[in-house]
Amino acid sequence: MSTLLLAEHQNGQLRAITHHAVTAATVLGGEIDVLVAGEGLAGIAEQAAQLAGVSRVLVVESTDLAHQEAERIAPLVASIAGKYQNVIAASGTYARNMLPRVAALLDANMVSDVLKIVSADTFVRGIYAGNVHATVQTADAVRVLSIRPTAFAAAGNQPAAPIEPLGWQVATEDKRLAQWISAEQTVSKGPELATAKTVVSGGRALGSAAQFQELLVPLAGKLGAALGASRAAVDEGYAPNDWQVGQTGVVVAPELYLAIGISGAVQHLAGMKDSGTVVAINQDPDAPIFQYADYGLVGDLFTLLPELTSKL
């Protein structure tokens, strides 16, 4: 048994969700080779080599891969995947773009967002917005899996594994398929949403982007928390899209989740209901969020939040 793990990185840092994928790979057993592809990878490869369980780090450095397009990297992954039984990555936007393309090139199916590894070919995953857990078995020779990062702990550290460069030329026709134009990043001072220990999320009841900033940012700051939002808050323009917690946004499972002015629609619950402790603050005592909250506080969030922030 051996596993090829695709490392996700952004701005010269290995993304923390990759640490969780390494733990899932150790559950599968056998050697774990981590593939780091892109440009400016020295620091990222070193971070990957120190994750407990990693056997080797394979580095493909090329200016042609600076923007990590699936059209350019998937053929590389498919070309070496035959040597492995598993190809895995943490479920994030990188894997969602890359892994199905890899799977199709391998003529293999893929299992998305694995919550539990039952055996080498059998996995548990959520369907219907996480309301049902499905156990699925795959008959493919190479198993392509994305891992729900919050379902596996982060890997610890080890003395650095060997780092080996791998030669790869992006085919001219693959370069033609996608041309990167620009990226726009949301500036966020707190921890990364997907792996934060505490998340403070706001909903439509915040009323405006200014109140979102004024009430939630200081609270998140006091708690060292990442900021999240419901779809309603994002649609109203109170928060950027990539803060959206839910079925179609980020799935989080922090130790503490504070849902502020969020009613608790099925699609939002899908993104947070595996959190350790859930706190809901809402004016409506019948809001569905209270059925999931360990601690509920009914009242006006415009008076309760400043009080909570000042008393922490």
> Rule CB under 8 A: which of 66-105 touch another protein?
67, 69-71, 74, 92-94, 96-105
Residue of the chain from 82, 248, 283, 300 that contacts another protein (CB under 8 A): 248
By C-alpha distance, which of 297, 235, 286, 249 is closest to 264?
286
Q: Which is nearer to another protein, 172 or 184 (CB)?
A: 184
* Minimum distance, C-beta of residue 136 to another protein, in the bound complex (Å): 6
Return d(Cα 138, Cα 120) in angstroms, integer. 9
Binding string, residues 17-56; x marks residues near another protein by CB under 8 A: ----------------------------------------
- Ramachandran assignment for 54, one of left (phi > 0), alpha (psi -120 to 50 degrees), beta (any other): beta
Binding string, residues 164-203; x marks residues near another protein by CB under 8 A: ---------x--xxxxxxxxxxx-------x---x-----
Ranges within 265-294 binding another protein (CB under 8 A):
266-267, 273, 276-279, 285, 290-294
Question: Known binder of ligand: residue 247?
Answer: yes
Cα separations in angstroms, 306 against 225, 236, 281, 294, 311:
16, 23, 12, 21, 9
Ranges within 202-231 binding another protein (CB under 8 A):
231
Instruction: Please answer whether residues 211 and 100 qualify as being in contact, where contact means their C-beta atoms are separated by less than 8 angstroms.
Output: no
Ranges within 127-156 binding another protein (CB under 8 A):
127-140
Return d(Cα 250, Cα 274) in angstroms, integer. 13
By C-alpha distance, which of 97, 128, 86, 122 is closest to 2?
86
Rg (CA), the chain: 21
**What number of chain residues touch another protein (CB under 8 A)?**
89
Q: Residue 51 carries which DSSP code?
A: B
Question: Known binder of ligand: residue 276?
Answer: no
* Minimum distance, C-beta of residue 108 to another protein, in the bound complex (Å): 7
Question: Known binder of ligand: residue 266?
Answer: yes
Cite the annotated binding site by residue number.
Answer: 204, 230-231, 244-248, 261-268, 282
